[in-house]
Amino acid sequence: NVKGNNDMLSITQPHVISDIYRKYLEAGSDLIGTNTFSSTIIAMADYEMEDYAYELNYEGARLARIECDKMTAEDPTRPRFVVGALGPTNRTGSISPSVEDPSARNVTFDELVETYFEQVVGLMDGGADILNVETIFDTLNAKAALFAIGEYLEFTGLDIPVFVSGTLVDQSGRTLSGQTGEAFYASIRHAKPMCVGLNCALGATHMKPFVERLSNAVECFMHVYSNAGLPNAMGGYDDTPEDMARDNRVFFENGWLNMVGGCCGSTPPHIAAIREVASQYKPRALPDVGRPKMWLSGLEDLVVDDVYNHLGMPFLNVGERCNIAGSLKFKKLMMAGDYASAMDIAKKQVEDGAHVIDINVDDGLLDGLAAMQKFVKIAVTEPEVSKVPFMLDASKFEIVEAGLKWCQGKCIVNSISLKVGEELFIEQATLLKKHGAAIVVMAFDEQGQAATEEEKVRICKRSYDVLVNKVKFPPEDIIFDPNVLTIGTGMEEHANYGVDFIKATRRIKEICPYVKISGGISNLSFGFRGVTKIRESIHAVFLHHCILESGMDVGIVNSHELLLKSEVDSDLRKACEDLVFNRNEEATEVMLEFTQKERAAIEARKKGGFVKVKEKSWRDYEPAKRLEHSLVKGISEFVDADVEEARQSFDKPLQVIEGPLMDGMNVVGDLFGSGKMFLPQVIKSARVMKKAVAYLLPFMEKEKRENMIAEGLNPDDVDPDDDSNYAGKVLMATVKGDVHDIGKNIVSVVLGCNNYKVYDIGVMCSCEKILEAAREYDVDVIGLSGLITPSLDEMVIVAKEMSKRGFHQPLLIGGATTSKMHTAVKIAPNYFSKVHPSIHVLDASRSVTVVSSLLGESKEDFVADIEEEYEEMREDYYAGLEDRYFLTFEQSKEQKLNIDFDKDPIAPTPKKLGVTVIDQVSLEDVIPYFDWNPFFQTWELRGRYPNRGYPKIFNDETVGSEAKKLFDDAQALMKEIIANKSLNLKGVVGLFPANRSENGEDVHIFEDEAGRETGVPTHTFCMLRQQAEKENEGSYLSQADFIAPAGYKDHMGMFAVSCFGCDKLVKHYENENDDYLKIMSQALADRFVEAFAEYIHRVIRTEMWGYAPEENLDTSDLLKIKYDGIRPAPGYPSQPDHTEKTTMWNAILAKEHAGIELSESLSMVPAASVSALVFAHKKSQYFAVGQVGKDQVDNYALRKKMDIEIMERWLSPILNYERD
């Protein structure tokens, strides 16, 4: 049924369309819009005429071309022009077609671009002079059309005038997608249209206020072609030609227009009447646009240059709470998929005065691409959110790009920099320019972060020159962030950071016209954390000069904490000026004095009085206080002398432990529990405590022997395990098959610091060993630890056995692979009562609270709360399984990733096939590949946004100082390890011919090409495929998808590497009573082996396989996986089956060649080991298999020739059903 398809008449009745064109031209039209309003693939789909789209546009334009040329020939003084009409399509990118799902869409940006590009080609081939994107009710559709036009013009090298015409649907003066006229213009002005205006929907009378507003905003020519009044009850139009001409006169009288015409209901006589009236007036003069300005938009427009904050300073406030790194609440909501509540956070920011909303969904456990798109799609449908512009913020460029494609407004992208190299920098900036986005450019280049004034200016100027001269990026849409760094640290090289930023800001704005400057203000004063008045005062002085004198424009700040410079006390203001501008060497000391006085004043106010600051060294304290200070600060230098002095003042050496030492450790415990001390400090405190006790032990032994002899007892007949003086006894064990114990060791130290006797029975502990030790030591609590997923099942076995044998001790569960949900669903049902609950402990900082609650008077209430919480979690979990839809295994295979290996060819043949032993790599070789972020996570140090991650964690207000000390200690130990050769690296690499199996689910590897020819593999790697239904239409992935089938000479690699020597080093520090360096050794061994893995993978890519010989990425880009290929590990999300390690070990003989063994639960030994498969295809990607169904598990067990019960046990954590 083609009824209503008027565009089709250009093909079926060309004489009718030609006659209509001619009549309008004869009536006085200078420009004729083509009969192509709906001639797109999308709109023609309603008539099943998609294949005619090009022909409809070509013929529609060709017929108009003929008639225009005829009229021009008759009167060459009045040339006539063909305007190629691009309608809005019958779909919208910004509005959901579903009431239930605001994230649903029936068209994508890329689909719109594709359909508009074909339309443009047809119109231009047919002879159009001008392209008109018209009747725009959704600006996102218009942006897609303009993007397509831009691609066409770039491809052809042509320069065609472009018109854009919006449609305001009613007297609200907004488009259907909610934008004001000004916001609509701000969103599309990047395309540099020749003419912008309004058409359709309303008659001229109703358009008046909106035409006036738009005319005041538009910097180019302005048009209107209204309807002939409003439609009548029958859908017709009643305005006569005279009516329409009269109603349009107001536009001419006020000088608002350069072009006028008619839309619905306007006939040739209407055009003739309008032309006659219009000829009596002068057209609108082009406005003086003045200085280039950054003009953003959401549903409403925002000229950044016109923004003032509550202090009257020109400063743009960017709200940070929709950033996963900036808001824990937002992160939890996003991880839970609670987008509705996340929108409430966004609304609150706007209500509180945010001019722009920052959106960042970066998290390793979140599909950033899908999450960014879903959040933006929902946000643009929320008027209270989307009325302001968005700042799209992501570490991966493709996530930012995906978000842009759902934003109808003009956004800011945060961020790009020369760190990626000039070529990629230009590529990214060019694409963002096409989308019309403003950009934040960080002062980074290939050498790193700019710190000094000269570096800031140099990098920003270079970036500016590249952007403006090579990319032709609008300078007014550039925001430079020259890096606000910390002052007042006492380090000479930091003293000038404040004045460097201020001076650099001024110089950058002088030599880079029209740019904006942004910065993270909180970094400046983090050294004075905890003293708000001091920090606010420093910020006030700094911002005063930055904003009012140097021209800083943008920042993330809490407005209620901002002060005017004049509001700061005069003496403090002078000190702040001296500090910020580094005017003298005493500036930091002076500010510290102010800080000390303010701290004292704070304490005094709490007590209702005043305190005079007394300057005194802690070495002047009495011995007990000195010991407390040493414990809190982790200072072991003076401990022997101070303990001896304290011993002299007590009757018994034990009193020193029970008195000042335990008092000090109680302070440490209180500070740690309240978050005022951090894990590295606690471990250092434990080191001091052990050293003090070790000093006292000989005196205690001597006293004990003397007392026993005096009482006539045998001094050698003593109980070495007397533990009656402890607050409680805790057994700690890493379960069977698991060799990882760094987390367990940390918990043991923390509990020990709080006077709990800890029996640590080691790693790879069987259920029998754990329960026998618990009975032998008569412990109060049992703690189980594990890192690998098989450990989860082992913990369930221990819990069941504890229940069977009638144990009554509470069971604590911890370790990287454990979770509260797994504990609630899988462990607690097997072992939980009011006497002996099973409880998940997130990290070491929570262990003391949990144990003290279990052994204290509040146990009953504490356990009841846990029981209630776990019951709710179990209900939610099982309800979630019911709600979650899974494809059958066959369905998921049908929707697998189908790579066209002819279009996207496989990597070349490796240069070094077979097995290679790696034993000549030194520790120094891998140091450049260190990723320090997991190191700080091990020590439970986490910076808050914007100071997440290394090295920004050093700037964090709360943990920065301690993180720097920890880092410096790590560096010192690394030097010692390297000098003593305490650790060494060894590994093995295998590169083999490989093909995907016929069933498409496994990968066969062959010894060599001759083996491939026989078709008989030496080994087969079995893979798992995703089955959980996806929100988007993505493929259901398996690692097998990345390997080509038989017929292609594809390959797959693998490696296993280890860091040897850690166990010996740990034993050494245990003997020295040094838990701090013991744990530090384990943490560094982990970092060395992870760096070794990164090093080996790079050598594979560039040399051994050699598919990327020109690769030249810095460490930051390596850690961001900016190379081709992946290295997923068996037992991890992309292949969560640990039994595949045995196949790898058999293939590369890891034990024989490198000495790396597998435990009973397939944990690698030594613990500091890494293994991985290596895929080279550029479309290979990391993913999470997620939960799988019974049908796939049955098939998988069959392929692996493994008993189904054993298979289900190994896959237990990812089953979407309950095992029998």
Closest CA to 759 of 738, 735, 733, 736: 733
| CA–CA dist 1074, 687 (Å, integer) | 5
Closest CA to 1217 of 995, 886, 985, 780: 886
| CA–CA dist 1059, 420 (Å, integer) | 31
Closest CA to 921 of 1055, 816, 805: 1055
Which residues on neighbouring strands pair with residue 730, listed in sequence order?
758, 781
DSSP H/E element including 400: helix 397-404
Residues 6+ apart with CB under 8 A from 606: none
> Any idea which residue has 């082992």 for tokens?
794
Classify residue 617 by burial, with Cβ atoms within 10 Å: 0-12, 13-18, 19+.
exposed
Residues 6+ apart with CB under 8 A from 903: none
Active site annotation includes 791? yes
Residues 6+ apart with CB under 8 A from 480: 440, 441, 443, 460, 463, 464, 508, 512, 515, 516, 517, 518
285: left (phi over 0), alpha (psi -120 to 50) or beta: beta
237, 228 Cβ separation under 8 angstroms: yes
Which tokens hold the place of 896? 């697998």
Report the amino acid identity of residue 63.
L
CB atoms within 10 A of CB 846: 18
How far CA 1207 is from CA of 823, 1000, 1171, 1198, 1201, in Å, comes to: 21, 20, 21, 10, 10
Ranges of beta strands (E only) in 149-220 are 162-166, 195-203
> Any idea which residue has 């020990």 for tokens?
752
Q: Which among 190, 435, 740, 836 is annotated as catalytic?
A: 740
How far CA 923 is from CA of 236, 1055, 1061, 1172, in Å, comes to: 83, 18, 12, 20
Active site annotation includes 560? no
Q: What angle do CA 995, 1001, 1006 make, to 5 degrees?
A: 25
For residues 941, 946, 952, 958, the Cα torsion angle rounded to the nearest 10 degrees is: -40
Strands in 31-33's sheet, in edge-to-edge order, are 31-33, 81-86, 130-136, 162-166, 195-203, 221-227, 259-262
Which tokens hold the place of 363? 């998290």
| φ, ψ for residue 1013, nearest 5 deg | -60, -35
| CA–CA dist 1010, 1017 (Å, integer) | 11
Closest CA to 442 of 467, 409, 406: 467
Q: Which among 477, 481, 500, 738 is annotated as catalytic?
A: 738
1021, 877 Cβ separation under 8 angstroms: no
770, 733 Cβ separation under 8 angstroms: yes
744, 812 Cβ separation under 8 angstroms: no
CB atoms within 10 A of CB 958: 18
Strands in 781-785's sheet, in edge-to-edge order, are 756-760, 728-734, 781-785, 811-814, 838-840
| CA–CA dist 499, 517 (Å, integer) | 15
Q: Which among 791, 845, 852, 1134 is annotated as catalytic?
A: 791
Active site annotation includes 822? no
Helix intervals (H) in 83-163: 109-126, 139-156
| CA–CA dist 416, 427 (Å, integer) | 11
Active site residues: 738, 740, 791
